[in-house]
Amino acid sequence: MPIAVRQCVSWLLQRGLIILLLAVLMAPAAVARPTILTSIHPLALIAHEVAGDQANIEVLVPVGASPHTYSMRPSERRMLDSADVFLWVGPEMETFLSRVIKQPDIASREFALGKGLLSGHDHHHHGDHKHGHGHDSQTVVKKTSDHDGDPHLWLDPELVAVMAKRLVNHLSKHPKFDGDQLNHRLERFHSELKAHSEALYEQLTPARELSLFTYHDAFRRFADRFDLNMAGTLTINPERRPGARRLAQLREHLEAAESPCVMTEPQFSQNWWDGLVSDTGLRVSVWDPLGQSVEPAEGSYLAFLDELGNSLLGCFENGD
């Protein structure tokens, strides 16, 4: 190749590289999406409903573990340290976080979605759920007691509506979030949640004849909201094993109950139930109060409600 041609080609290549470099340098820097870390899976479902693709949403407690008995590992502590926003229910639920959450750096980034809700504060209905369905036009979903102290707030769609609004108000103050987009998604979620809850209430009509027995009290908020019959629990405190006296009492209640159904949970051993229901023909179904099989995405909290409903209706597919 003649020298003049080689020089021309070299000049063109150099010029092209310079133009490419300038284009890269002059392009606006990509803004990294903020990270929302949630203590448990259900909060990630709620966060996805309102934050959508504005954030990377991660979960602290891994699949298969219970927040009642969990101990945080070093890798999860690093997740906590690097998150832009950390969401949890509150000290009544995630007891393992009670100490670490008080550290100044983390305290500045944490937000307890359940604060005040255990005592009924800020408990507002997100829609007028009234219509006639054979109960003197009362609300289509029954109001949970304001003072029951149950921290499993995400199992009550009315409280989820409140928690979602709280989350939007909180994230709207953060410089990395678009408040208008958050509020638009919140409005849509509230509308869909109201319609979904009303439809699920009707679908669960057959389940109201069941006497439900669960491992612990986590199911009560869902049961109260949808007029279901919680007949008994295996343990009062999920952090403690049930004693012989408790097991004997529960056996009596199971034998006396009308249409009993045992609802086991994947986070806890089923061995306790095996000794109570083996060779009895009792109905048994599995429900997951953490919804860990539901992939976080838009509409995932609604899918979680459907999963709970299907677990209940599964009682009719098992046992006598």
| Interval 153-191: pLDDT, tens | 999 999 999 999 999 999 999 999 999 999 999 999 999
Q: Tally the domains of the chain.
A: 2
Cβ count within 10 A of residue 187: 13
- Single out the residue in 197, 216, 232 at which a domain terminates: 197
- Burial zone of 113 (CB within 10 Å; 0-12 exposed, 13-18 middle, 19+ buried): buried
Domain coverage including residue 129? 35-115+125-197
Model confidence at 123: pLDDT above 60 = no
At residue 309, the 3 state secondary structure works out as helix
Residue 6 in domain: no
| Confidence at residue 239, expressed as pLDDT on a 0 to 100 scale | 60
Res 266: pLDDT: 82
Distance CA 264, CA 273 (A): 8
pLDDT in tens, 36-75: 999 999 999 999 999 999 999 999 999 888 887 788 899 9
Q: What is the pLDDT of residues 271-320, one digit of tens each?
A: 656 666 665 667 888 899 999 999 999 999 999 999 999 999 998 875 54
Query: Does residue 106 or residue 271 have the better pLDDT?
Result: 106
Q: Do 179 and 250 belong together in one domain?
A: no
Identify the H or E element spanning 192.
Answer: helix 179-203
The verdict on 210 and 193 lying in the same domain is: no
pLDDT higher than threshold 80 for residue 125: no
User: Does residue 26 fall inside a structural domain?
Assistant: no
CATH number assigned to the domain comprising residue 54: 3.40.50.1980
155 and 220 in a single domain? The answer is no
Shared domain for 207 and 291, answered yes or no, is yes
- 7 within some domain: no
Q: Is residue 3 part of a domain?
A: no
If asked whether residues 182 and 291 sit together in one domain, one would say no
Rounded average pLDDT over 141-152: 57
b/e map 202-221, b = 16+ CB within 10 Å: eebeebeebbbbbbbbbbbb
Q: With bands split at pLDDT 50, 70 and 90, how would you rate the model's confidence at 3?
A: low
Q: What is the pLDDT of residues 241-263, one digit of tens each?
A: 666 777 777 777 777 888 888 88
- Assigned domain for 301 exists: yes
Domain boundary among 197, 212, 238: 197
Pair (193, 227) in one structural domain: no
What per-residue confidence (pLDDT) applies to 45? Answer: 97
Which one is predicted more confidently, 111 or 240?
111
Mean pLDDT estimate for the chain: 80
Same domain, 141 and 208: no
More confident residue, 216 or 108: 108
Tell me: do 99 and 207 sit in the same domain.
no
Last residue of a domain, one of 158, 180, 197: 197
**More confident of the two residues 17 and 74:** 74
Residue 4: alpha-carbon gap to chain centroid? 69
- Please indicate, yes or no, whether residues 68 and 54 belong to a single structural domain of this protein: yes
CA distance 245 to 121: 37
Amino acid at 314: G
Domain assignment of residue 77, yes or no: yes
Q: Are residues 308 and 193 in the same domain?
A: no
Tokens 């408040």 — which residue? Answer: 179
d(CA 242, CA 239): 10
Among candidates 242, 248, 225, 219, which has minimal Cα distance to 315? 219
Beta-carbon contacts of 199 under 8 Å, excluding residues fewer than 6 positions away, are: none
The pLDDT, as a whole number, for residue 234 is 77
Indicate the pLDDT class of residue 213, thresholds 50, 70 and 90.
confident
In this prediction, residue 215 carries a pLDDT of: 79
Q: What is the 8-class DSSP label of residue 266?
A: T
The reply to whether 279 and 230 lie within a common domain is: yes
The answer to whether position 214 is within a domain reads yes
273 and 193, same structural domain? no
Q: Which residues pair with 261 in a beta bridge?
A: 212, 283
Minimum mean pLDDT range among 69-73, 97-101, 144-148: 144-148
What is residue 122's predicted lDDT score, i.e. its pLDDT? Answer: 44
Does residue 253 form part of some domain?
yes
